[in-house]
Amino acid sequence: MNTYKIKFNAICPVNEDEIQYFLIIKTSKIIQVEAIKEFTDRLSRGFHEKFADMLHGKFGGYQLMTAIHGVVTIETERGLA
């Protein structure tokens, strides 16, 4: 099992807050780290749950994404644990 972790930021389309995202991908596949970075760099504005769907569609595996939006922490899981 391979585990990839990345931190990135994006803007909330509702109130323009900057949100911190922490993504963990667990998969038996090999993913080029450059592909993860390139994909997350394009996620500059949007909703957490949509980002999670897009990331899972691209990379598969089990994914846990945590977002800190002001005083609220959001966790979204995709794939099998």
Is residue 34 helix, strand or coil?
A: helix
Confidence check: pLDDT of 81 > 80:
no
Contact 55/38 with Cβ under 8 angstroms?
no
Q: How far apart are CA 63 and CA 61, in angstroms?
A: 6
Q: For the residues 47-51, what does the mean pLDDT come to? A: 95
Strand pairing of 72-78 and 62-69? antiparallel
What pLDDT score does 66 carry?
A: 98
Residue type, 1: M
Per-residue model confidence as pLDDT tens digits over 4-16: 999 999 999 999 9
Please give the average per-residue pLDDT across 22-47, as a whole number: 97
- Mean pLDDT of the chain, nearest integer: 96
